[in-house]
Amino acid sequence: MFPSRGQGHIKAVLGTSLKAETLTNPAKISGLVGAIAPHLAVDDGLNSAYLAGLAVELRDVRVGNVTFFTLPTRGTGTSANGQSIVIIDQDKLKAVQQGFQTDTLDAFQPEVQTIG
């Protein structure tokens, strides 16, 4: 769901974060959360206790278990304040949302797209 350079960065972070020695070490989990927290916007339910529990649940997940793809887009444009933006294809996004809701996202076949 990130541009390919962003996907590579996230994959590298996950590769480090999803190691057993990270997920089973409360100090490392705390350090990881502290390092990424300033860069995230989350709802109030996502707190350190929830994340610690999630880390335990993810202890057997490795980066090879994670699939990356880019949301379907309609190309690029410009926001009202002049920022360059990628425009999400809202109609095709519905298939992605359905895949998340029904745990069938592995069947979603993203189109090869170029952004120009």
pLDDT at 113: 54
Q: Can you give the pTM of this predicted structure?
A: 0.49
Tens-of-pLDDT digits for all 116 residues of the chain?
444 567 777 778 777 777 778 777 888 877 877 887 787 777 888 777 887 788 788 778 888 887 777 788 898 999 999 999 999 999 989 989 998 899 988 887 777 655 54
Question: What does residue 107 show for φ and ψ, rounded to 5 degrees?
Answer: -85, -15
pLDDT at 87: 92
What contacts 24+ positions apart, CB below 8 Å, involve 99-108?
105/67, 106/67, 108/69
For 17, counting Cβ atoms within 10 Å of its Cβ (0-12 exposed, 13-18 middle, 19+ buried), the class is buried
Q: Which residues contact 26 (CB under 8 A, 6 or more apart)?
A: 52
